[in-house]
Chains A and B, each alone.
Chain A
């Protein structure tokens, strides 16, 4: 079986990877400086010229780009080539403000799809596989990224897009899908729906799933793997850097290999901007080394993460990033304590609850309140109110241990929390802080 999509790159020696990066960064900085007035000004303000960048180590001299810069440059301000050279646009969901639009040349699409192809092969995919893509198609990068990657591998591709779970299940069963690509919350929902229709984990032909576009926990991985009878692999990416496939998991399932020949990763202290050594936790920063149309240099992702370069049993040599430990923009500060929704999910799954929950934050009498609606499963329901109250107390206590603050737990009937077909909305913050 094919083990790598591009073995010569994916298993290249460290020296070879650095050599590739050295060549590409010099060329890329020149390209951006010559074509993007906005970034040229940032470099000029710092007194940096393209000649100062002689190798990948010099990258630390370059200014950062932040989400605010992208908003300011909307729509064409960071475009680095003539529009006539571009063949596609994708856009972020805009949930945290103004949309970001990203441009692609055919070269950019090809390298992105190759990255997705690497992810599919790493998940055990080959031309014998049937890949069911139920990420949304359209402006969102999820659908087209995995779709293109699936084509590159030569898999039979089912372009389902998101939603219509009945049809997803019918095609999955009738057309023998072997690899499922969607958000983890939708994968969990499909597993739940299969169970409801009387299918066990062994009744489908699925062997693997490639899940991303939202944060998920190890506990959720276990639940999806058991529910669908598959191996569940994480995939990472963002519209700003191209889309899914910037990094992907291999058979070891202990972090995602970053496609370092295209995307250079750094971890920085989010306060000072200082680059942190390998193994330290900080904000993930990406530089697109050879994208043409929308080549962001030192883009701050807001994802909190750790990079490691240990030897991987899969044979790949590219650096690994851990699952993002939350994004600084979905991090909630409640009564001064940093709270990530992923921590709440971990506690729920550990305590035997479903991953269906909704977090409400509010401010009453100048004090933050944290309320969590949690779905009750039929076997947890007791006719005795004291038993139920004990359950709530026990859950609230585990939450307090994990989060450092105590939430109020509200048990709600099964299936009352809205299921998501794309990115799940887990947090409603009603505080008027701005």
Chain B
């Protein structure tokens, strides 16, 4: 069920982010969500894209990229929806490395992406608590 996220390493220098995005954009690959974690020297760009293999190919070998499994949870685009998910994780003492959310024009209003150590256990827990998990197909299209 886990969703595949594309992460790329970008030096904190003029034009580097734009160059990476330009390469992906020179095709029909759509970026569904994007979040950046940064230090003073570099940023790590995390993306959900419509065609992961194609995006990696377009980035080429000189832009460092990798694929990470993350949990994507569907939620209503309403106040309190994110907190309900986070509370479950907190009670189960699941450590979040990072998280980001994005809205959608689908039946569910929004998705939250959770980066955790144990994807399987987190998915199992969220399932048991009645949350809906997103698959690669639906989140990336």
Write the residues of chain A forming the contact surface with B, with a CB cutoff of 8 angstroms: 376, 378, 381-386, 388-389, 410-416
- B7 in contact (CB, < 8 A): yes
> B38 contacts which of A376, A383, A385 (Cβ < 8 Å)?
A385
Residue contact B68 to A383, C-beta cutoff 8 Å: yes
Apart from A413-B11, A415-B62, what are 17 other A-B pairs with CB-CB below 8 Å? A376-B64, A378-B66, A381-B9, A381-B64, A381-B66, A383-B7, A383-B68, A384-B37, A384-B44, A385-B38, A385-B39, A385-B44, A412-B42, A413-B62, A414-B61, A414-B64, A416-B11
Write the residues of chain B forming the contact surface with A, with a CB cutoff of 8 angstroms: 5, 7, 9, 11, 37-39, 41-42, 44, 46, 61-64, 66, 68, 97-98, 115
**Given A378-B64, A378-B66, A386-B97, are A411 and B44 neighbors across the interface (CB < 8 Å)?**
no
Distance in angstroms between the alpha carbons of A413 and B38 in the assembled complex: 15
Contacts of A376 in B (CB 8 A): 9, 64
Distance in angstroms between the alpha carbons of A257 and B68 in the assembled complex: 53
- CB pairs A–B below 8 angstroms (13 shown): A376-B9, A381-B7, A383-B46, A383-B68, A384-B37, A384-B115, A385-B37, A385-B44, A385-B98, A386-B97, A411-B41, A414-B62, A416-B11
Determine the residue in chain B with the shortest Cβ distance to A373.
B41
Residue contact A413 to B64, C-beta cutoff 8 Å: yes
Dominant secondary structure at the B interface: strand
Determine the residue in chain B with the shortest Cβ distance to A409.
B41
Distance in angstroms between the alpha carbons of A416 and B5 in the assembled complex: 25
Contacts of A388 in B (CB 8 A): 39, 42, 44
**Given A388-B39, A389-B39, are A383 and B44 neighbors across the interface (CB < 8 Å)?**
yes
Contacts of A412 in B (CB 8 A): 11, 41-42
Contacts of A381 in B (CB 8 A): 7, 9, 64, 66
Contacts of B98 in A (CB 8 A): 384-385
Contacts of A383 in B (CB 8 A): 5, 7, 44, 46, 66, 68, 115
Determine the residue in chain B with the shortest Cβ distance to A377.
B64
Determine the residue in chain A with the shortest Cβ distance to B5.
A383
Contacts of A414 in B (CB 8 A): 61-62, 64
Distance in angstroms between the alpha carbons of A378 and B66 in the assembled complex: 8
Distance in angstroms between the alpha carbons of A388 and B98 in the assembled complex: 14
Min C-beta distance of B71 to chain A, whole Å: 14
Distance in angstroms between the alpha carbons of A413 and B59 in the assembled complex: 13
Distance in angstroms between the alpha carbons of A413 and B7 in the assembled complex: 13
Determine the residue in chain A with the shortest Cβ distance to B43.
A385
**Given A376-B9, A378-B64, A381-B9, are A411 and B97 neighbors across the interface (CB < 8 Å)?**
no
Residue contact A411 to B42, C-beta cutoff 8 Å: yes
Distance in angstroms between the alpha carbons of A336 and B39 in the assembled complex: 30
Distance in angstroms between the alpha carbons of A385 and B46 in the assembled complex: 11
Contacts of B97 in A (CB 8 A): 384, 386
Distance in angstroms between the alpha carbons of A188 and B5 in the assembled complex: 34
Min C-beta distance of A236 to chain B, whole Å: 36
Distance in angstroms between the alpha carbons of A88 and B7 in the assembled complex: 57
Min C-beta distance of B5 to chain A, whole Å: 7
Which 10 A-B pairs have CB atoms at the shortest separation, nearest pair first?
A: A383-B7, A385-B37, A383-B68, A384-B97, A410-B41, A413-B64, A381-B64, A381-B9, A381-B66, A385-B44
Report which residue of B9, B63, B66 has the largest number of chain A beta carbons within 10 angstroms of its beta carbon. B9
Distance in angstroms between the alpha carbons of A414 and B68 in the assembled complex: 19
Min C-beta distance of B116 to chain A, whole Å: 11
Contacts of B7 in A (CB 8 A): 381, 383
Min C-beta distance of B101 to chain A, whole Å: 17
Report which residue of A386, A389, A412, A415 has the largest number of chain B beta carbons within 10 angstroms of its beta carbon. A412
Min C-beta distance of B33 to chain A, whole Å: 14
Min C-beta distance of A58 to chain B, whole Å: 58
Min C-beta distance of A64 to chain B, whole Å: 46
Report which residue of A385, A388, A389, A416 has the largest number of chain B beta carbons within 10 angstroms of its beta carbon. A385
Contacts of B63 in A (CB 8 A): 413
Residue contact A413 to B115, C-beta cutoff 8 Å: no
Distance in angstroms between the alpha carbons of A381 and B61 in the assembled complex: 13
Distance in angstroms between the alpha carbons of A386 and B46 in the assembled complex: 14
Contacts of B64 in A (CB 8 A): 376, 378, 381, 413-414
Report which residue of A384, A388, A410, A414 has the largest number of chain B beta carbons within 10 angstroms of its beta carbon. A384
Min C-beta distance of A349 to chain B, whole Å: 20
Min C-beta distance of A400 to chain B, whole Å: 19
Min C-beta distance of A417 to chain B, whole Å: 12
Min C-beta distance of B10 to chain A, whole Å: 8
Distance in angstroms between the alpha carbons of A385 and B36 in the assembled complex: 10
Distance in angstroms between the alpha carbons of A385 and B64 in the assembled complex: 14
Determine the residue in chain B with the shortest Cβ distance to A414.
B64
Determine the residue in chain B with the shortest Cβ distance to A385.
B37
Contacts of B38 in A (CB 8 A): 385
Contacts of B66 in A (CB 8 A): 378, 381, 383
